[in-house]
Chain A
């Protein structure tokens, strides 16, 4: 019982470490980056853009058919472009991680699914979540008493 408690405490401590320990990251000098993104029903091209934390990002949104928008989750920055026109959005990528950007102007049937991705440095959130999943499984293997032992129905309920 005591060993089980210690094991659970260690597991919880490891979980907190996975979630909160600062991860080493390369920190290249921030720079200005400009991307031209074509928006057409119902996709962005390119659909994924990669920047470094601290970069000053300029997106030139070019709509190739109807009015489209671009809203960056997590940053709250947005822009709208009329057909054939270019609209510009500039923001500083000061939050690391992976963020979806999506059309924020109703542009047709698949509008809610017109989505792209902005990667700012390493996606630590994904790495930490994967670490937690791995830790959970390790805990189940290393601490069998963490979960009740599997039994057959015959053993559990009788015949």
Chain B
């Protein structure tokens, strides 16, 4: 299957170029986001009955990891409300570009931080405190509000969407996993761009803003850094931008050789395995250690968490990248080969999330009826008793996700290994071993 250009359809193209549908989604998301902050602060402190916990960590998470990322890549980023207030202030406008630029600092993001290491760190920080974050509505609210204010502050200091590109804890993994999605935004013909004057896709024009993600669209070859904001679709004077339907994981045919992205793959793989053990396993002492932040056992847990991600998972994988007489540097071999962990990690998260979401999904019904804990019963479901959803289908669905992810990873490993001229067999066996551990944890 080759590409199908969706924007060839005038209806789709019109809807994507028009700012109003996107603005409507943005505003709806922003209202929901602010409501979740409010609910976390004033509603019941019981996590599984609080709108902020239930809608952020159950409903939103399920949609993100099971639908949005696998099928739409950075589709979530296209409607995420977090950068919105900052971006409006930065631009001095909510819709079309104004005639004058607002006088904010507009600094360039420091060159040495133009990678996803900060996103790796921000995700790890959240991950280490995740049992608290997942269960405390107030803490969830504080984190949601903090992300909004940090994004706003960075918009005042730095140009474009620095928060999304370099700091957002969600954006990092959505970025690497978006390479597997069957949607892409690309330039149709790079030769047209070479002669284009003013490069409005990057610099902006009266039709739209320069790329908020600081991407030069003609150089775009992967989904990782494209936030699907569609500004380039609006600004291109030559109608040279397309949104395409494409085969799954097309970007992984050109593996990245970046160490920050390689470690993002390990962080995501390791976190999924650790959460499957801690949150869904029967070991109460480990849950206790993860929950009681600041105690001696929590430090042990945090140390073990970091050891899994930075030692136990990457060190054996490093052996997969060994090869005598190979002309590629070890770092390149290691990073390139770790591309195989991207589909594996996504399938691990899907399998974990299925279990988490199906067993806790019923809480959505109660919290939607009384989102602020004020005794409302809007949909008549406020007092509904907990019940598990479709748990009989859980194990087959998890097996399908994990074995499918393994096959997908093996395919990716073959391509990546070919790229750096090493054998794919050790990497495929590594993926098999990780899958067996995950199966044991979940089934």
| Smallest Cβ-Cβ distance to B421: which chain A residue | A152
Task: Give bound CA distance, A141 to B414, whole Å.
Answer: 11
B174 CB within 8 Å of chain A: no
- A133 and B439 contact, Cβ closer than 8 Å, known pairs A44-B282, A117-B282: yes
**Given the complex, which residues of A lie within 8 Å of B258, measured CB to CB?**
none
- A137 and B429 contact, Cβ closer than 8 Å, known pairs A115-B280, A132-B399: yes
Cβ-defined contact, B287 with A110, below 8 A: yes
**Given the complex, which residues of A lie within 8 Å of B21, measured CB to CB?**
none
| Interfacial residues of chain B within 24-63, with CB under 8 A of chain A in the complex | 46-49
Cβ-defined contact, B432 with A137, below 8 A: yes
| Interfacial residues of chain B within 276-306, with CB under 8 A of chain A in the complex | 278-285, 287-288, 291
Q: Mark B243-274, 1 if CB is under 8 A from A, else 0.
A: 00000000001100000000000000000000
Contact of A123 among B392, B413, B436, B443 (CB under 8 A): B443
Task: Give bound CA distance, A106 to B392, whole Å.
Answer: 23
B180 CB within 8 Å of chain A: no
B20 CB within 8 Å of chain A: no
Chain A residues within 8 Å of chain B by Cβ, number: 47
A73 CB within 8 Å of chain B: yes
Closest chain-A Cβ to B241's Cβ sits at a distance in Å of 21
A20 CB within 8 Å of chain B: no
Cβ-defined contact, A132 with B388, below 8 A: no
Cβ-defined contact, B418 with A150, below 8 A: yes
A112 CB within 8 Å of chain B: yes
**Given the complex, which residues of A lie within 8 Å of B49, measured CB to CB?**
106
- A106 and B48 contact, Cβ closer than 8 Å, known pairs A74-B392, A115-B280, A125-B443: yes
Task: Give bound CA distance, A138 to B432, whole Å.
Answer: 10
- A129 and B403 contact, Cβ closer than 8 Å, known pairs A43-B284, A150-B414, A152-B419: yes
Task: Give bound CA distance, A13 to B281, whole Å.
Answer: 33
Cβ-defined contact, B386 with A130, below 8 A: no
B417 CB within 8 Å of chain A: yes
**Given the complex, which residues of A lie within 8 Å of B420, measured CB to CB?**
152
| Smallest Cβ-Cβ distance to B392: which chain A residue | A74
B201 CB within 8 Å of chain A: no
A111 CB within 8 Å of chain B: yes
B112 CB within 8 Å of chain A: no
| Smallest Cβ-Cβ distance to B395: which chain A residue | A125
| Smallest Cβ-Cβ distance to B410: which chain A residue | A140
A31 CB within 8 Å of chain B: no
- A133 and B254 contact, Cβ closer than 8 Å, known pairs A117-B282, A147-B414: no
Task: Give bound CA distance, A50 to B328, whole Å.
Answer: 52
- A98 and B443 contact, Cβ closer than 8 Å, known pairs A42-B284, A110-B291: yes
Task: Give bound CA distance, A130 to B359, whole Å.
Answer: 23
**Given the complex, which residues of B lie within 8 Å of A151, measured CB to CB?**
415, 418
Contact of A111 among B48, B403, B413, B440 (CB under 8 A): B48
Closest chain-A Cβ to B6's Cβ sits at a distance in Å of 24
Cβ-defined contact, A71 with B419, below 8 A: no
Task: Give bound CA distance, A128 to B398, whole Å.
Answer: 13
| Smallest Cβ-Cβ distance to A49: which chain B residue | B282
**Given the complex, which residues of B lie within 8 Å of A115, measured CB to CB?**
280-282
Closest chain-B Cβ to A3's Cβ sits at a distance in Å of 19
Closest chain-A Cβ to B437's Cβ sits at a distance in Å of 10
**Given the complex, which residues of A lie within 8 Å of B232, measured CB to CB?**
none
Task: Give bound CA distance, A133 to B282, whole Å.
Answer: 24
**Given the complex, which residues of A lie within 8 Å of B46, measured CB to CB?**
106, 108-109, 111
Cβ-defined contact, A109 with B429, below 8 A: no
Closest chain-B Cβ to A151's Cβ sits at a distance in Å of 5
Contact of B403 among A132, A152, A153, A155 (CB under 8 A): A132
Q: Mark A95-118, 1 if CB is under 8 A from B, else 0.
A: 000101010101011111111110
**Given the complex, which residues of A lie within 8 Å of B415, measured CB to CB?**
148, 150-151
Cβ-defined contact, A126 with B419, below 8 A: no
Closest chain-A Cβ to B52's Cβ sits at a distance in Å of 14
Closest chain-A Cβ to B59's Cβ sits at a distance in Å of 14
- A126 and B428 contact, Cβ closer than 8 Å, known pairs A71-B388, A136-B403, A136-B407: no
Could you name 9 residue pairs across A and B whose Cβ atoms are closer than 8 Å? A73-B359, A106-B49, A110-B287, A110-B291, A112-B48, A133-B432, A140-B428, A150-B413, A153-B253
15 extra A-B contacts, CB within 8 A, seeds A141-B425, A150-B424: A47-B284, A48-B282, A108-B46, A111-B46, A112-B135, A115-B282, A116-B282, A117-B282, A136-B410, A147-B407, A150-B416, A150-B417, A152-B420, A153-B254, A155-B418
